[in-house]
């Protein structure tokens, strides 16, 4: 297998491909203050296995599921929806594995009531979903599309009727193509345009939705879409400018949401992976610091502190970013909560002094000490403890796990069941580590498994199955996998059952 192309949510930091032609792309690094994990520190921080099933999660813990509009909705031309950058990208030959598109996906646009009933049967208390920007503004500007707003209004009402909290992500990668034609995230005008869109959505739904995520994994869509071009919109070498504008948009959208709905609790969903230095050399330790600063802190310190992280700003490439006086204040967004998506760790090292600026001098290797999932990602449960504790210690505010999951190819057997024991083992191990973090004082209030359904996995198309529910993409038949049934028992009991 060529892991260089397993990039669906495995995000390399800027230096990993640009600095080392032999390095494999990383997933987004973890949030680390100073500390980094070494290869010898893989021991579990969870409770002993014999105790796990007897320890309750906190009262009111939000057991949830995660989805994203382009990955599940389909209905790509219905009810006034405009073209998104992922529509254009997926319809371009050679961009998505197997020529797959999100035109139909899981047909969630038409079948959401059926899927909400699955959530209800699985005792889910929270659904993280996203709004498709092109459904609200076909071209990205102007007045809202009433049919688009009505769809999400009905969806939110259906969630609430089922006793499920709606957690709305405002941007999960599907920008209207017309905005990309004007430069997309490399165009500073996007800052105010995005804030206007956030205001429209909040005014329409803020009477029923109180928990909002502004962005999903900004390190992902800026690096993959504007850095190396393997995701929509497929541009290269423009990551830093795009990322800086996203930081500005995050701050402006935060203020727009708060102005439109005073009771809104606002955060963002950020990918975090612990960085393991390849050696204990000072050079590799410093490279791991830069890796961490460039990927995780780049979108979090900016919001919470109005500045780029110290390890990054030693030699800031502000000219490449388009940084202007006063931008620090514009970036600020005093989040009410922080969302963490976790999929594994990465090995980081210093590739040598030939790379400038120094703030981008790091390279990344894919680890394989732990077992590998179907798409080649290492299973490393310990990392979820590490990143949660780092966020808890640095920011001391409510945390929700907004994504955690794995790809395995298990399908239905003759009896109609989908016995995916490896996925059960994956979630149980990660939840055990999460219990350890909660025991050690981390204010974690929710966990969202990725994902409710097997779905369109970006550049990997339908070749990877992350769902707790198996989907037959020929006829949209759904079968809750054994892992889904197990997760439902966990959610119903608030215990980490066998």
Residues labelled as active-site residues: 217, 403
- 8 phi/psi in degrees, rounded to 5: -55, -55
Of 386, 393, 399, 400, the closest CA to residue 346 belongs to 386
Tokens (6 digits) for 257: 């949401």
Residue 104: half-sphere exposure toward Cβ, Cα within 13 Å: 8
- Contacts of 368 by beta carbon, 8 Å cutoff, 6+ apart: 378
For 66, other C-beta atoms within 10 Å of its C-beta total 29
For 74-98, b/e burial (b = at least 16 CB within 10 A) is bbbeeeebbbbbbbbbbeeeebbbe
Exposed, middle or buried by CB within 10 Å (0-12, 13-18, 19+), for 54? exposed
Instruction: Report the Cα 293 to chain-centroid distance in Å.
Output: 18
Exposed, middle or buried by CB within 10 Å (0-12, 13-18, 19+), for 44? middle
Cis before 357? omega within 30:
yes
């Amino acid at each position: 297998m060529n892991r260089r192309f397993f990039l669906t949510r495995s995000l390399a930091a800027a230096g990993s491909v640009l600095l080392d032609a032999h390095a494999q792309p990383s997933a987004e690094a973890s949030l680390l203050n100073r500390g980094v994990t070494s290869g010898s520190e893989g021991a579990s921080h969870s409770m002993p296995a014999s105790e796990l099933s007897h320890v309750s999660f906190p009262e009111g813990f939000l057991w949830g599921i995660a989805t994203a509009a382009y990955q599940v909705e389909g209905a790509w031309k219905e009810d006034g929806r405009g073209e998104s950058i992922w529509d254009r990208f997926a319809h371009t030959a050679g961009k998505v594995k197997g020529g797959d598109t999100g035109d139909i996906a899981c047909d969630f646009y038409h079948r959401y009531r059926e899927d909400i009933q699955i959530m209800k049967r699985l005792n889910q208390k929270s659904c993280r979903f996203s709004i498709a920007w092109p459904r609200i503004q076909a071209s990205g500007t102007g007045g809202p599309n009433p049919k688009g707003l009505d769809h999400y209004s009905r969806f939110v009402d259906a969630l609430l009727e089922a006793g499920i909290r709606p957690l709305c992500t405002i941007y999960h990668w599907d920008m209207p193509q017309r905005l990309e034609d004007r430069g997309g995230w490399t165009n500073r005008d996007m800052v105010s345009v995005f804030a206007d869109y956030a205001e429209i959505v909040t005014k329409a739904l803020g009477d029923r939705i109180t928990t909002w995520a502004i962005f999903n994994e900004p390190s992902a869509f800026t690096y993959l879409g504007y850095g190396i071009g393997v995701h929509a919109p497929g541009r290269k070498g423009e990551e830093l400018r795009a990322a800086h504008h996203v930081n500005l948009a995050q701050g402006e959208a935060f203020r727009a949401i708060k102005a439109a709905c005073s009771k809104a609790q606002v955060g963002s969903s950020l990918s975090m992976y612990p960085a393991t230095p390849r050696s204990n050399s000072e050079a590799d330790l410093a490279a791991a610091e830069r890796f961490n600063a460039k990927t995780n802190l780049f979108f979090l310190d900016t919001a919470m502190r109005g500045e780029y992280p110290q390890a990054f700003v030693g030699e800031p490439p502000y000219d490449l970013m388009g940084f202007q006086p006063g931008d620090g204040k514009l970036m600020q967004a005093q989040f009410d909560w922080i969302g963490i998506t976790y999929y594994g760790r990465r090995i980081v090292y210093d590739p040598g002094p030939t790379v400038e600026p120094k703030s981008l001098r790091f390279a990344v290797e894919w680890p394989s000490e732990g077992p590998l999932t179907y798409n080649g990602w290492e299973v490393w449960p310990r990392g979820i403890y590490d990143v949660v504790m780092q966020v808890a210690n640095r920011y001391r505010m409510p945390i929700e796990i907004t994504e955690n999951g794995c790809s395995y190819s298990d399908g239905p057997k003759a009896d109609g069941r989908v016995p995916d024991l490896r996925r059960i083992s994956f979630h149980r191990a990660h939840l055990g580590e999460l219990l350890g973090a909660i025991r050690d004082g981390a204010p974690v209030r929710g966990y969202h498994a990725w994902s409710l359904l097997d779905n369109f996995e970006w550049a990997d198309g339908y070749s990877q199955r992350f769902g707790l529910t198996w989907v037959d993409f020929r006829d949209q038949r759904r079968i809750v996998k054994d892992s889904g049934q197990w997760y439902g028992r966990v959610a119903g009991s608030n215990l980490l059952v066998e």
